[in-house]
Every structure is written in C-alpha cells, then in structure tokens.
Chain A
Amino acid sequence: KAGVTQTPRYLIKTRGQQVTLSCSPISGHRSVSWYQQTPGQGLQFLFEYFSETQRNKGNFPGRFSGRQFSNSRSEMNVSTLELGDSALYLCASSLGDRNQPQHFGDGTRLSIL
C-alpha cells in the first residue's frame, strides 16, 4: 500500500509569490491534515479536510488555504509569501476517526528568499 505522497519535496520562492503544495493520502483515507514545522517549534496544525470539506482549522492567517478533491487528494496554497513562511510542511492522512493515528508524508521543504 503506497504511503502519503507530498510534492514537491523542495521549493524555493521569493517574498510576495504564492505557492501550492500537493498531498496524496493513503488509499481509502478520507482525512488529510496539514502542519507547519519551523525550527524550535512543534508541529503547528494548519487545517484538516474530510470528504472535501474543511473540518478543522488552526490559527494561521487567511493567506494559508487548502482544498480537497473527490479522490481525497489535497492541496495547500500560501499567498503573498513572507520570509517567516519558510518551513517544512507536512501532510498526514487518516481514516478520519480521531482515535486513529495519522500517517505522515515526507514533507515539502519551502524556502523563501
């Protein structure tokens, strides 16, 4: 069974640009969550999508948005990039029950110049 796939693995952008990251969950998983990891911080929850609907949202500005498609694949978009957006972005999929563990992808390393 294929794991969670995130693309691209690395990305370099400049301030003011926008970026879209992609996440393909494990087959059969309907929940996809996105996290941001910056040095010295724990994983910060961005949002969760379940059956194409945003089910949960963290405390990030509106520049961070996402969506989920009918095949459960999810995209995350960040507009008007800032230097502080440089981070590792992880997505995780699960069956949707919060008693189930999440399965993480390898992440996208985003660097803002």
Chain B
Amino acid sequence: ILNVEQSPQSLHVQEGDSTNFTCSFPSSNFYALHWYRWETAKSPEALFVMTLNGDEKKKGRISATLNTKEGYSYLYIKGSQPEDSATYLCAFLNRDDKIIFGKGTRLHILP
C-alpha cells in the first residue's frame, strides 16, 4: 500500500518566524514529487515539481528539498506572512503512473 504522510497535520506560527514541514513517501519506484498550496476558498496552486534526489527549489520565501533515497521532502517558509496561511499538499508520483496526495499540513500564521 502506497502511503504519503505529511507532518505536522496543523501548525501555528507567529508572523515573521520561519517554519518547515515534512512530506514522507515511499523511497522506491520514485518518479516525481509535487508541492501545492491550497488557500481557503481557492483552488490548489502548484509550488514545485521535484524529480531528482538532492533537488532544492526556491520561490520567494518558500523553498523545498528532496531526498528520494530516504523518502522525504521538506518545505521551508522564511519570515512567515499572513498570506502564507494555507494547506500545503505534497503529491508523490511513481513509475507505475500512481499519484498519491498527502492529507496536507494546515498552516496558520498568527499576527
């Protein structure tokens, strides 16, 4: 059974602080990992597509790393702002054309 776990499930962070959370996925048969941000009342928005072990991607204050050998990816947010409040989803794609989403990390930025 393919399982993708995201932790923590929920996170409260003070505005201005930095934070990170994890996506764990099977370490075999890896093809790609996607990160999405899903704000309330909006549709999920793509952040990163990561394919190579050791990949590091950055978009403004948000960055992500990938370790396919041990099966995890970290998402980092530097200097959190209120607009960062959202649910962050990761999706694991394997070479058998399977796509599995994690349940997400719900991030709340406290003013």
Mark A residues whose CB is within 8 Å of B: 3-4, 33, 35, 40-45, 55-56, 90, 92, 98-107
Query: Main SS of the interface on chain B?
Result: strand
Query: Main SS of the interface on chain A?
Result: loop
Known A-B contacts A98-B93, A101-B34; A42 and B4 likewise in contact (beta carbons under 8 Å): yes
Q: Are B44 and A104 in contact (CB under 8 A)?
A: yes
On chain B, the number of residues with a Cβ less than 8 Å from chain A's Cβ atoms is 23
A4–B46 Cα distance when bound, in Å, is 13
Most buried by B among A33, A102, A107: A102
Q: Are A42 and B104 in contact (CB under 8 A)?
A: yes
Mark B residues whose CB is within 8 Å of A: 4, 31-32, 34, 36, 42-46, 49, 51, 89, 91, 93, 97-104
Q: Are B101 and A98 in contact (CB under 8 A)?
A: no
18 A-B contacts (beta carbon < 8 Å): A4-B43, A35-B101, A40-B103, A42-B102, A42-B104, A43-B101, A45-B99, A45-B100, A90-B44, A98-B31, A98-B32, A98-B93, A99-B51, A100-B49, A101-B46, A104-B43, A104-B45, A106-B42
Q: Give the A-B pair count, Cβ closer than 8 A.
A: 50
**Which residues of A lie under 8 Å from residue B44 when comparing CB positions?**
90, 92, 104
Known A-B contacts A40-B103, A41-B103; A99 and B49 likewise in contact (beta carbons under 8 Å): yes
**Which residues of B lie under 8 Å from residue A45 when comparing CB positions?**
98-101
**Which residues of A lie under 8 Å from residue B102 when comparing CB positions?**
42
Q: Are B43 and A106 in contact (CB under 8 A)?
A: yes
A102–B90 Cα distance when bound, in Å, is 12
Q: Are A103 and B32 in contact (CB under 8 A)?
A: no
